[in-house]
Each structure stands twice: as C-alpha cells, then as structure tokens.
Amino acid sequence: MANPVLPSTGVLSPLGLDAVRLAPGFWGDRVTLDREVTIAHCREWMEREGWIDNFRGRRPRRGREFSDSEIYKLLEGMAWAGHPDLPELAETVARAQEGDGYLNTRWSGNRYTDLEWGHELYCYGHLIQAGVARLRTHGEDRLTEVAIRAADHVCRRFMDTTETCGHPEIEMALVELYRATGTDRYLEMARRFVERRGLPALGPIHFGRAYFQDDVPVRQAKVFGGHAVRALYLACGVVDVAVETGDQELLKAVEAQWERTIARRTHVTGGMGSRHADESFGEDYELPPDRAYAETCASIASIMLAHRLLLATGDARYADMTERTLYNMLATGLALDGKSFFYANPLHVRVPAEPPQGVVSHAEQVGLRSPWFDVSCCPNNIARTLASLPAYVATADAGGVQIHHFTPGEIRHGGLALQMETGYPWSGGVTVRVLADGRGRISLRVPSWATGATLSRACAPDGSGASGAAGAPPAGAGRSPAAVPVAPGYAVAEGEWRAGDEIRLELPMAPRWTFPDRRVDALRGTVTVERGPLVYCAESVGDEPPLADLAARVTTPPADVPADRPGDEAVELEIAAVRAAPDANGWPYRAEQDRPGGTGGGTDTVLRLVPYHRWGNRGPATMRVWLPVAGERP
Ligand SMILES: [Zn+2]
C-alpha cells in the first residue's frame, strides 16, 4: 500500500495513493503543482546552495548541519510523486554512505560528538521515511538499500546506550520501517528512543531540556511543549510505538497531551508555536497573533499526528483538526505559483515585507513568501506532504470507507468504487457517486462547525431501490431524494449499491463570526470570520487603506462576495466595519475603556476579507486575522 503511515492495528485503516486518486480541485491542483513545479524548484535550490554537492564530496561543505535531511525529504516527495529524478539523486546519496551504514556529510569523521544539536539521527529519520516511501511505491532499489543499511547502523550503535537525538524524527521512521519490512529490531530501537527521553538522555542546553522534550518522560508530560516541530514529531513516534506495542497507557498519554494543546496552545489557523526565540509552543493561552511563530513544519507535524490519532481511535475530532490545518496552514505555506513558501505564519503582519532579491531569506522573514531559506525545512516538507496528500483523504474499516476530506477524486476499496465531486471549500455540496455495483458503509465526516448539515441518497435512474440506510432514508427510483439532518461526526449511508447511486452531503457555508476564549489575553476584545473550513483575514497591499484603525461591527453578519480577481475562484467576504479616527493622543493609555468606533470618532466602512491561505499572493502586504470588535454606534 502506497501510504506514509500504515499501522498494523487501529480503528481505521488508511487508504493509500493506490486507492485514492485526486482530480482537479482545491487539493488535486496543489498535488499537481507540487509534482510539476515545487519538487523541481526544491531540487534546483539545493543544487544552487551546494547541499547536494555535499554528498558529492565537494568541500567546503555548505548548508546547516541538518541540510542532508532536506535532500531526504525531497526524495520522499519524489517517491510519492513517482518523480523520474529519484534514482539519480538516490545514487548521489548512496555514494556518500560509509561501509558500516553511517551517512552524514557534516559529521563524517566526527560521529555522534554533538547529539544535542548534531541532527544525525534526525537526518536518518528522513532518509528512512524516504526509503519506506520508495519501498511502498516501487519496491527495493538503491534508496531502500541505503535506508535499511542506515537503520541497521543506528540499531547497532544505539540499541544498548542511553542516548538519543536532540531532534525527534527517527522514532516514527523506525516504526514505519518495521511496518514495511517486519524487522522487529527497528520497532524495539524506536521504543527505546521514546522511553529513554526525559530520563534525561541528552546534555543540558541553554534553552533548557524542555526545548527538546528531555525534561520529563513522555508518559508523564501533560501537554506538548518546547520546540513545536520536535514535540510533534516525537508525539507521532510515540503514537506509532504505542499502536505497534499495544501500549494503551502510552497512547492515552498522547491523546491527553493533544487535547490540552488544542484547548490552550493552538492558533485558530491550526498553527502551533508562539515563540520565535526557541521556536517553541509557549505557555497555555499564550497565542499572540503578531508574534505567532506557527512554523509550516509544525503544522505538517500536527497533521501527521492528528492522522495517526484518527487511525488509532476513529475520532472525527482529529480529522477536524487536520482539515483546519490543511486549509489554513499547509495551503498557506505554498504560494499559488508553487515556488515560494512561508516558514513562520503569524496572524497579524503590521509592516509589508521587503521583497527578497533571489537570495536566501532568514527563516523568520514574515509577510512575503520566499523561494528559499537558510533553514529550508518547510519547502521540502510541503513537497513531500502534498505528494502523499491523497493518503489523508479516506480510510477504511471492516464495514466500508470513511471520507474525511472533501475534494474531487476517486476512492476504491474492497467492494466500493466511489467518485467524489465537490466545489469545497468554496461551496458546501459534496456528491459521492457509486461507480460500480457493490456493498458497504459509506461515511462522510461532518465537520464540527457544520450545524444544520444534511445527507440525502438517490438511486441510479434504473435502480431498484436502496436497502437500509442509516442516516439517510432509502430513496426509490425516480423519487427525489429526501435530505435528513446529520450531526457533526460521521454521516453514514449503507447497504447495497448500484452504479449511478449517489449520496449528497450539504454543509452550511454561511460565514460566521468566531470569538476567542477570554483567557487568550492577546486576542481579548477581537473577532475573526470563518467560512466552512477557512479562516479569513483582512489584507492591505500597496495603496489600499491601512488596517490598524479598523474594527468589526459584529451586529451585521458577514456576507459572501464573488472574488473579482482574474483566475481566482476563491470566495471573498465583506463585513461591516468602522474606521476609527487616528488618535492624536501621544500616550496610548487612558481613563476610559477603549471602544473602537463607539464614541463618535469612527466612519462606517465595508471591509473585504480574503481566505487566510491566499494572503500575500499580491505582493508585500499587511494582514490581520483578528479585528477589534467595534463598540455600540454613538
Ligand atoms: Zn520548517
């Protein structure tokens, strides 16, 4: 099965790239863009920056100590995409591997002398994931051989020590290699890496051991903390180990950590991470919109984790969070032309960025996507994630299939062959057409925001009438289908199916105001707008009016407006707003509570909002997701 995560047990089984094929649509277009543009773009930049030359032995070595991992992530993306350049790039990597399986262009000759910062095991993790991707899409070859030799080297060197890597990643990779090969020692090595963390297993660093999750054993942690990508990659490996070893206590520990992190440490976009200094989560309710870090890689790690938890438990909440993160983080990370990327994803940008001049940007640059970064983890991570995206769309169990994400395409599993048609996320109708006679349960996720959703079922024109449907009544031939209300969770239709039968899910797509919990101090008194799975924002480019003095009038509901930009199918929104007169006061504190526009100083206006994932595609811009709530009209 062509799938990045293939647990041997769990409530749901993933459907891979061989079972789910995407057609043109929101995600199908991005998968195509990735295959045709982004993968080549990443390759080109890594040649330009000398990171591939490091494997050719060219000196001086270039790039950061972890740059090898970027080539591996791209190889994984190439494997999922069936990219023709893979064998040649894999051969370049293979030639740098040492006789005992060791492979690292930075630390060769100086092995494992800095496990805190060296990233050697982290790099192997990505190499092994690339190897597994190749094994599952093609079969054994040079890349899978290199990955297995590296994994065997890791097992020999680390099985009986107390050491681990400063950056988790090897854990989930080893479990996946165990799943792909059946070799027990890879699972045992992963289990030991998980259990020795927090004892502690690493030396002290100036950020403190919490930075790399070595402050407390993973079973005792209450919430994800420290460096966000590290914490989430570790949690993925922990779920994998828990699932494969049947360790319910360990699985429950991660579920509880996820719950609290979602409740207190997650931005409305699904982004995670609030601090720039150490790329870390921050404390509970520490969610500043302007200083949000929300690294693209952390959101990808969050998607990987939620997917694992969905497979293990079947709980729709995990798919809900995956959807939020896909539409508002993954889609944001990549420019519409597929050639530039966000690293940090704040929810408020006050000053337009300086356009990069074809040079490598610092990771923290915000406000404009960059073609490449000095730390370029995010572009290759986007490339590999989009290449494997069909694997996140649907799952199966003994009774049938579950469709978690709505995008045009085909799903084939067991006795079911289905075609999905939808204009989602712009429109809320999802039609699932049965392509061949069969039987089984078809479940469609109803997102948590979709109050008032309905499901209907229609038979093929010559159909003899469907049998027992739960959630939707059987509809006879020629009768118009009756729509029944369905609650958030999964809407289920089951029975015998004839080619041409259809299920239709209608999700309400009216834009809605969303207010923050009062404990999120940085957002108190503000509001944002969501529509379907999308978070919206105000954007100002060039001479467009500034955003600083605006407040939203929440007494008037937001309204859809057709997007007027050429080639843009996005739905934009309009809200009633007030533009407060700029204060002449030289001191931003006063004796009365500030109520924007409520004390007679404001001018009513209409504010256009765009989906957050589309911001920054028209050049340097200011942007804000959260707007102050306007006071009463005077
Ligand atoms: Zn990154």
- Distance (Å) from CA 488 to ligand 1 centroid: 33
- Which pTM was predicted? 0.96
388: its two tokens:
């494997």
Per-residue DSSP letters for 136-187? HHT-SSHHHHHHHHHHHHHHHHHTTSS---SS--HHHHHHHHHHHH--HHHH
- Distance (Å) from CA 460 to ligand 1 centroid: 48
Catalytic pick among 169, 279, 421, 494 = 279
Helix (H), strand (E) counts: the chain: 14, 24
Annotation says 286 is catalytic: no
- Distance (Å) from CA 377 to ligand 1 centroid: 4
- Distance (Å) from CA 256 to ligand 1 centroid: 25
Dist CA 354 CA 537 (whole Å):
21
Catalytic pick among 297, 377, 378, 537 = 377
Annotation says 459 is catalytic: no
- Distance (Å) from CA 332 to ligand 1 centroid: 13
Q: What does the pLDDT read at residue 217?
A: 98
- Distance (Å) from CA 296 to ligand 1 centroid: 5
Dist CA 148 CA 228 (whole Å):
28
Q: What does the pLDDT read at residue 472?
A: 45
Give the count of beta carbons closer than 10 Å to the beta carbon of residue 245: 16
Q: What does the pLDDT read at residue 367?
A: 81
Segments of the chain scoring below 50 in pLDDT = 464-479, 567
Q: What does the pLDDT read at residue 597?
A: 75
Strand-strand pairing, 13-14 and 571-580:
unpaired
Amino acid, res. 364 = E
- Distance (Å) from CA 174 to ligand 1 centroid: 21
Q: What does the pLDDT read at residue 587?
A: 86
Omega cis (within 30) before 87: no
Residue pointed to by tokens 């899978």: 144
Q: What does the pLDDT read at residue 366?
A: 74
- Distance (Å) from CA 109 to ligand 1 centroid: 28
369: its two tokens:
């996507």
Dist CA 174 CA 176 (whole Å):
5
pLDDT, tens digit, 9 for 90 and up, residues 137-156: 999 999 999 999 999 999 99
- Distance (Å) from CA 295 to ligand 1 centroid: 6
Collapsing DSSP to helix, strand or coil, 431 comes out as: strand
Q: What does the pLDDT read at residue 566?
A: 52
